[in-house]
Structure 1
C-alpha cells in the first residue's frame, strides 16, 4: 500500500497529537512490510506521517521539491527533516532550484503518481495559496485516488 501525505503546517499541539494518533491508528490495519509512505517531509503533517511510517516498520519514500527546499523549512523542523531523510528508503529530488509553490505542487503531483491513496490532514477549507493541501486533495480526486481526510471536529486553523 503506497500512501502519500498532504497536510497543513504550523499545527497546534493538540491538533498534532490528534493527527499523530489518527495516522498511527490507520496504519494498524496495514501490514508493515507492504506500507510505503510518500512524503515531502515538510513540517507539520508530513513529518508526523513520516515518523509514523518508520515507527510502523514501513518504508519511507521522499520527494524533495527543490534543491533549496530544506533551507526554506522553518529552522526548528530541519533536524527532524534531516533525520527522516536519512531513514528514507528512496529519495527523489525534483529539478527545481528554489522552493516555490510551483515546485511544491510538482512534488505533490510526483507523490500522487506513485501512490495508491492520499491521507490529507486538511480542515476542508480552500487553499490559501497555490499548491496547498486543498489543491493536492482535488488533484488526487481528479486522478481517481481514494482520499482519507484527517481533521479534528470543530477545530479551525
Structure 2
C-alpha cells in the first residue's frame, strides 16, 4: 500500500501592517500561490505575526493544510496589541507544533532568530513584500535575501492595489 507523500513545507514572511482590503487581496493571492506550489494541501510555517503571517495561517487552514508556529520569544504574545490577541491565540491553538527560539524577550535579535528557524523548516518561501527595503535586520527583504542565499525557492507576492496601513493600526 502506497503512502501519500508528505505535504510541501511552505514558510511565509511579509508585512505586518496591511490594510483590510490588502489582507483580502493577499489572501486571494496566497490561495493561488499555494495551489500553484502543490495540488495537495501544504504544511505552513509561520511566526504568526499580525498581517501577512495570520492571513497565511487562515489560508492554509481554509485550503485543507496545517501549519506550525515559530515563536520569536517567550514574551512574544505580550507584544501583540491587545485588540489582536484573541485572533493570535485562536490561530496559535490550531498549530500542529509550536517552536520557541530560546529568546526570552522580543526584539530584532529574536525576530532574526525566528526567521532563521522558519527557513530551516521549509522547502519554499512565500513573501508578501512591496519591494521596499526594511528598516531592521528582521525585515521582509532580509528574510527574502536569506532564503535566496540558501537556495530556497521564493515567490514574492504584492497584489495590484495592495497598500500598507499606517503603523498605528
TM-score class, shorter-chain normalisation, is over 0.9
Q: 1:24 aligns with which of 11, 27, 31?
A: 31
After TM superposition, list the pairs within 5 Å mapping 1:20-99 onto structure 2: 20-29=27-36, 30=38, 31-32=40-41, 35-99=42-106
Q: Which has the greater radius of gyration?
A: 2
TM-score, normalised via structure 1 length? 0.93
Equivalent residue for 1:107, pick from 102, 111, 114: 114
SS in 2 for 1:88: coil
**Residue number among 119, 123, 134 corresponding to 2:126 in the alignment:** 119
What's the TM-score once normalised by structure 2's chain length? 0.87
In the other structure, the counterpart of 2:5 is: none
Shift of 1:94: 1.5
Aligned to 2:64, the other structure's residue is in SS state coil
Alignment match, 1:3: 10
Kindly provide the CA deviation profile for residues 26-84 of structure 1, in whole angstroms up to 9, marking residues without a partner as x: 2234302xx11000000000000011111111111110110000111222221111111
Could you list the runs of 5+ residues in structure 1 that have no partner in the other structure?
Answer: none
Supply the distance in 2 between the matched residues of 1:69 and 1:85 (Cα, whole angstroms). 12
Q: For 1:112-147, what per-residue CA distance to the aligned partner results, in whole angstroms no more than 9, with x for missing partners?
A: 011001100000111122201011000001110111
Distance 1:139 1:74 in 2: 28
* Aligned residues between the structures: 155
1:106, 1:96 → 2: CA distance? 8
**Among residues 145, 163, 169, which one is paired with 1:138 in the alignment?**
145
Between structures 1 and 2, the one with greater helix share? 1
Partner of 1:147: 154
CA contact (8 A) 2:19 2:163 kept: no
